[in-house]
A and B are shown apart, each in its own frame.
Chain A
Amino acid sequence: DAGITQSPRHKVTETGTPVTLRCHQTENHRYMYWYRQDPGHGLRLIHYSYGVKDTDKGEVSDGYSVSRSKTEDFLLTLESATSSQTSVYFCAISDFGGRTSEQYFGPGTRLTVT
Protein backbone atom coordinates (compact mmCIF):
# COMPACT_ATOMS: atom_id res chain seq x y z
CA ASP A 1 0.00 0.00 0.00
CA ALA A 2 1.13 3.53 -0.71
CA GLY A 3 2.18 5.52 2.34
CA ILE A 4 -1.22 6.94 3.24
CA THR A 5 -2.70 7.02 6.71
CA GLN A 6 -5.99 8.41 7.97
CA SER A 7 -6.97 9.43 11.48
CA PRO A 8 -9.08 8.69 13.30
CA ARG A 9 -10.11 5.35 11.80
CA HIS A 10 -13.44 5.37 13.61
CA LYS A 11 -15.40 8.20 15.14
CA VAL A 12 -18.82 8.64 16.67
CA THR A 13 -20.00 12.20 17.16
CA GLU A 14 -23.18 14.08 17.87
CA THR A 15 -25.17 16.23 15.47
CA GLY A 16 -23.96 19.82 15.44
CA THR A 17 -20.41 19.16 16.59
CA PRO A 18 -17.35 19.98 14.46
CA VAL A 19 -15.26 17.09 13.19
CA THR A 20 -11.85 17.05 11.50
CA LEU A 21 -10.45 14.08 9.64
CA ARG A 22 -6.78 13.91 8.76
CA CYS A 23 -5.02 12.35 5.79
CA HIS A 24 -1.24 12.00 5.87
CA GLN A 25 0.99 10.80 3.03
CA THR A 26 4.67 10.00 2.81
CA GLU A 27 4.81 9.75 -1.01
CA ASN A 28 5.27 13.47 -1.70
CA HIS A 29 2.41 13.29 -4.22
CA ARG A 30 0.99 16.57 -5.40
CA TYR A 31 -2.69 15.63 -5.56
CA MET A 32 -4.84 14.60 -2.61
CA TYR A 33 -8.56 13.82 -2.52
CA TRP A 34 -11.39 13.24 -0.09
CA TYR A 35 -14.21 10.86 -1.04
CA ARG A 36 -17.22 9.58 0.79
CA GLN A 37 -18.60 6.12 0.20
CA ASP A 38 -22.23 5.27 0.77
CA PRO A 39 -24.23 2.20 -0.29
CA GLY A 40 -25.65 2.65 -3.78
CA HIS A 41 -23.59 5.76 -4.48
CA GLY A 42 -20.09 4.44 -4.94
CA LEU A 43 -17.23 6.86 -4.35
CA ARG A 44 -18.14 10.53 -4.52
CA LEU A 45 -15.57 13.30 -4.54
CA ILE A 46 -15.92 15.89 -1.78
CA HIS A 47 -12.86 18.12 -2.29
CA TYR A 48 -9.43 17.78 -3.74
CA SER A 49 -6.10 19.55 -3.60
CA TYR A 50 -3.55 20.09 -6.36
CA GLY A 51 -0.89 21.65 -4.17
CA VAL A 52 -0.28 23.38 -0.88
CA LYS A 53 -3.10 25.84 -0.26
CA ASP A 54 -4.68 24.92 -3.63
CA THR A 55 -8.03 23.18 -3.33
CA ASP A 56 -11.19 22.74 -5.35
CA LYS A 57 -14.70 21.41 -4.81
CA GLY A 58 -16.01 18.03 -5.86
CA GLU A 59 -19.59 16.93 -6.52
CA VAL A 60 -20.67 16.70 -2.84
CA SER A 61 -18.81 19.57 -1.18
CA ASP A 62 -21.70 21.20 0.71
CA GLY A 63 -21.13 21.04 4.48
CA TYR A 64 -17.43 20.26 4.14
CA SER A 65 -14.26 22.35 4.09
CA VAL A 66 -10.63 21.36 3.56
CA SER A 67 -7.18 22.70 4.20
CA ARG A 68 -3.72 21.78 3.03
CA SER A 69 -0.88 23.69 4.67
CA LYS A 70 1.76 21.02 3.96
CA THR A 71 2.28 18.63 1.06
CA GLU A 72 1.82 15.62 3.32
CA ASP A 73 -1.39 16.59 5.14
CA PHE A 74 -4.94 17.16 3.87
CA LEU A 75 -7.63 17.91 6.43
CA LEU A 76 -11.38 17.49 5.98
CA THR A 77 -13.64 19.43 8.35
CA LEU A 78 -17.32 19.05 8.97
CA GLU A 79 -18.18 22.38 10.56
CA SER A 80 -21.44 21.13 12.08
CA ALA A 81 -21.95 17.42 11.57
CA THR A 82 -25.34 16.12 10.42
CA SER A 83 -26.70 12.57 10.30
CA SER A 84 -26.50 12.67 6.48
CA GLN A 85 -22.73 12.88 6.83
CA THR A 86 -22.56 9.44 8.42
CA SER A 87 -20.35 7.62 5.93
CA VAL A 88 -16.99 6.05 5.25
CA TYR A 89 -14.46 8.68 4.20
CA PHE A 90 -11.49 7.79 2.02
CA CYS A 91 -8.48 9.90 1.28
CA ALA A 92 -6.55 9.29 -1.93
CA ILE A 93 -3.35 10.56 -3.52
CA SER A 94 -1.96 10.74 -7.04
CA ASP A 95 0.95 12.29 -8.84
CA PHE A 96 -0.27 13.66 -12.16
CA GLY A 97 3.03 15.42 -12.63
CA GLY A 98 4.48 12.11 -13.72
CA ARG A 99 3.42 9.84 -16.56
CA THR A 100 0.89 8.11 -14.44
CA SER A 101 -2.56 9.09 -13.27
CA GLU A 102 -2.70 6.23 -10.79
CA GLN A 103 -4.59 7.03 -7.64
CA TYR A 104 -4.13 5.24 -4.31
CA PHE A 105 -6.50 5.18 -1.38
CA GLY A 106 -5.98 5.40 2.35
CA PRO A 107 -7.55 2.89 4.77
CA GLY A 108 -10.68 4.95 5.39
CA THR A 109 -12.44 6.57 8.35
CA ARG A 110 -15.84 5.37 9.48
CA LEU A 111 -17.80 8.35 10.82
CA THR A 112 -21.11 7.99 12.61
CA VAL A 113 -23.15 11.10 13.44
CA THR A 114 -25.86 10.43 16.03
Chain B
Amino acid sequence: GENVEQHPSTLSVQEGDSAVIKCTYSDSASNYFPWYKQELGKRPQLIIDIRSNVGEKKDQRIAVTLNKTAKHFSLHITETQPEDSAVYFCAATLSGNTPLVFGKGTRLSVIA
Protein backbone atom coordinates (compact mmCIF):
# COMPACT_ATOMS: atom_id res chain seq x y z
CA GLY B 1 0.00 0.00 0.00
CA GLU B 2 0.87 3.66 -0.14
CA ASN B 3 3.31 5.14 2.39
CA VAL B 4 3.86 8.88 2.81
CA GLU B 5 6.89 10.34 4.56
CA GLN B 6 6.88 14.01 5.61
CA HIS B 7 9.80 16.24 6.63
CA PRO B 8 10.63 18.12 8.72
CA SER B 9 8.47 17.30 11.74
CA THR B 10 8.97 20.82 13.11
CA LEU B 11 9.93 24.02 11.37
CA SER B 12 10.51 27.51 12.74
CA VAL B 13 10.86 30.53 10.48
CA GLN B 14 11.02 34.28 10.93
CA GLU B 15 8.00 36.24 9.82
CA GLY B 16 8.38 37.17 6.17
CA ASP B 17 10.66 34.24 5.34
CA SER B 18 9.65 31.25 3.22
CA ALA B 19 8.81 27.78 4.51
CA VAL B 20 9.12 24.51 2.61
CA ILE B 21 7.68 21.16 3.67
CA LYS B 22 8.52 18.02 1.71
CA CYS B 23 6.75 14.70 1.28
CA THR B 24 7.64 11.50 -0.51
CA TYR B 25 5.25 8.74 -1.52
CA SER B 26 5.82 5.12 -2.43
CA ASP B 27 3.06 4.17 -4.89
CA SER B 28 3.83 5.45 -8.37
CA ALA B 29 0.13 5.04 -9.26
CA SER B 30 -0.91 7.77 -6.81
CA ASN B 31 -2.22 10.80 -8.64
CA TYR B 32 -3.85 13.14 -6.12
CA PHE B 33 -1.85 15.05 -3.49
CA PRO B 34 -3.64 17.40 -1.08
CA TRP B 35 -2.25 19.52 1.74
CA TYR B 36 -4.13 20.24 4.95
CA LYS B 37 -3.60 22.90 7.60
CA GLN B 38 -4.66 22.23 11.18
CA GLU B 39 -4.71 25.03 13.71
CA LEU B 40 -4.60 24.20 17.40
CA GLY B 41 -7.84 22.55 18.51
CA LYS B 42 -9.39 22.73 15.05
CA ARG B 43 -10.14 20.30 12.26
CA PRO B 44 -7.73 19.78 9.32
CA GLN B 45 -8.62 22.15 6.47
CA LEU B 46 -7.76 21.54 2.82
CA ILE B 47 -5.56 24.42 1.62
CA ILE B 48 -4.28 23.28 -1.76
CA ASP B 49 -4.05 20.13 -3.85
CA ILE B 50 -2.35 18.96 -7.02
CA ARG B 51 -2.97 16.19 -9.47
CA SER B 52 -0.35 14.19 -11.29
CA ASN B 53 -0.94 15.84 -14.65
CA VAL B 54 0.26 19.16 -13.18
CA GLY B 55 3.79 20.03 -12.01
CA GLU B 56 3.02 23.13 -9.97
CA LYS B 57 0.02 24.93 -8.57
CA LYS B 58 -0.14 28.30 -6.82
CA ASP B 59 -2.72 30.05 -4.68
CA GLN B 60 -1.57 33.44 -3.45
CA ARG B 61 1.28 32.80 -0.97
CA ILE B 62 1.15 29.02 -1.13
CA ALA B 63 2.31 26.70 -3.88
CA VAL B 64 2.73 22.99 -4.32
CA THR B 65 5.18 21.29 -6.64
CA LEU B 66 5.14 17.67 -7.77
CA ASN B 67 7.98 15.55 -9.13
CA LYS B 68 6.44 12.29 -10.31
CA THR B 69 9.75 10.78 -11.34
CA ALA B 70 11.21 11.21 -7.86
CA LYS B 71 7.84 10.60 -6.19
CA HIS B 72 7.94 13.68 -4.03
CA PHE B 73 5.88 16.83 -3.62
CA SER B 74 6.42 19.97 -1.62
CA LEU B 75 4.47 22.82 -0.04
CA HIS B 76 5.95 26.29 -0.31
CA ILE B 77 4.71 29.20 1.78
CA THR B 78 6.14 32.62 0.96
CA GLU B 79 6.10 35.78 3.07
CA THR B 80 5.08 33.80 6.14
CA GLN B 81 2.81 35.42 8.71
CA PRO B 82 2.05 34.47 12.33
CA GLU B 83 -1.33 33.09 11.25
CA ASP B 84 0.49 30.51 9.13
CA SER B 85 1.57 28.83 12.38
CA ALA B 86 -0.15 25.42 12.41
CA VAL B 87 0.41 21.75 11.71
CA TYR B 88 0.50 20.90 8.01
CA PHE B 89 -0.27 17.44 6.63
CA CYS B 90 0.43 16.08 3.18
CA ALA B 91 -1.46 13.13 1.74
CA ALA B 92 -1.54 10.96 -1.35
CA THR B 93 -3.97 8.64 -3.06
CA LEU B 94 -4.98 7.08 -6.31
CA SER B 95 -8.03 9.25 -6.83
CA GLY B 96 -11.19 7.27 -7.05
CA ASN B 97 -12.22 5.00 -4.23
CA THR B 98 -8.88 4.73 -2.43
CA PRO B 99 -8.62 6.56 0.93
CA LEU B 100 -6.00 9.25 1.49
CA VAL B 101 -2.76 8.24 3.21
CA PHE B 102 -1.39 11.04 5.37
CA GLY B 103 2.10 12.05 6.39
CA LYS B 104 2.74 12.50 10.10
CA GLY B 105 2.59 16.28 9.92
CA THR B 106 4.88 19.31 10.23
CA ARG B 107 4.46 21.82 13.02
CA LEU B 108 5.26 25.23 11.55
CA SER B 109 5.98 28.13 13.88
CA VAL B 110 6.28 31.63 12.44
CA ILE B 111 8.17 33.90 14.80
CA ALA B 112 7.23 37.56 14.74
Q: List chain A positions with a Cβ less than 8 A from chain B.
A: 1, 31, 33, 40-45, 48, 50, 58, 90, 96, 101-108
Within 8 A of A (CB), among B73-96: 89, 93, 95-96
Residues of A within 8 Å of B102, CB to CB, are 42-44
Contact A90 B44 (CB under 8 A): yes
Contact B44 A33 (CB under 8 A): no
Residues of B within 8 Å of A102, CB to CB, are 34, 46, 49
Q: Smallest CB-CB separation from A108: which chain B residue?
A: B43
Q: Smallest CB-CB separation from A47: which chain B residue?
A: B99
Contact B93 A106 (CB under 8 A): no
Contact B46 A103 (CB under 8 A): yes
Could you pull out 6 A-B pairs where Cβ atoms are within 8 angstroms? Answer: A41-B104, A96-B95, A105-B36, A105-B44, A105-B45, A108-B43
Q: Separation in Å of the A46 CB from the closest CB of chain B?
A: 11
- Rounded to whole angstroms, the CA-CA distance of A104 and B44 in the bound complex is 8
Apart from A33-B99, A41-B104: 8 A-B pairs, beta carbons within 8 A: A40-B104, A42-B6, A42-B103, A44-B102, A48-B99, A96-B96, A101-B49, A102-B49
- Rounded to whole angstroms, the CA-CA distance of A107 and B89 in the bound complex is 17
- Rounded to whole angstroms, the CA-CA distance of A65 and B25 in the bound complex is 29
Residues of B within 8 Å of A44, CB to CB, are 102
Q: Separation in Å of the A92 CB from the closest CB of chain B?
A: 8
The listed residue (A31, A41, A43, A50) touching B44 by CB distance below 8 A is A43
Contact A101 B46 (CB under 8 A): no
Contact A101 B43 (CB under 8 A): no
The listed residue (B46, B89, B93) touching A43 by CB distance below 8 A is B89
Q: Which 10 A-B pairs have the closest CB atoms?
A: A42-B104, A101-B95, A105-B43, A43-B102, A101-B32, A42-B105, A105-B44, A42-B102, A107-B43, A48-B99
